[in-house]
Amino acid sequence: ESASLLEAYLDRRSAFWREHAHPDADPGQGRASGSGAMTKEEAYQVLGLAAGAGPDQIREAHRRLMKRIHPDNGGSTFLAAKINQAKDILID
């Protein structure tokens, strides 16, 4: 469910994200660009959480998604960067 939410969020933010979501993409593409900062609301959506979720819930959602999306597991550097960005925004 969280992966579907992440895809929907990315579809709204950038029509071209799928072009960069291939596991064999350049590793430099894995970092989120400075254009278009993610809001806290969007970060909760990316992680599949309700607004106001606590740090433990945020870490658990991050771990769960990274197990599926991480490039070392055949996932996407772009999506992994978005998941990391969401966690970083919510846990300062």
DSSP string of 65-86?
HHHHH-GGGT--HHHHHHHHHH
Q: Percentage of the chain with pLDDT > 90?
A: 45
Three-class secondary structure of residue 75 per DSSP? coil
Tens digit of pLDDT for each residue in 80-92? Answer: 999 999 999 999 7
Give the integer Cα–Cα distance in Å for 62 and 48: 9
Paired tokens of 58 = 């945020």
Tens digit of pLDDT for each residue in 31-53? Answer: 444 446 899 999 999 999 999 99
Domains, in order of start, for the chain: 2-15+36-90 (1.10.287.110)
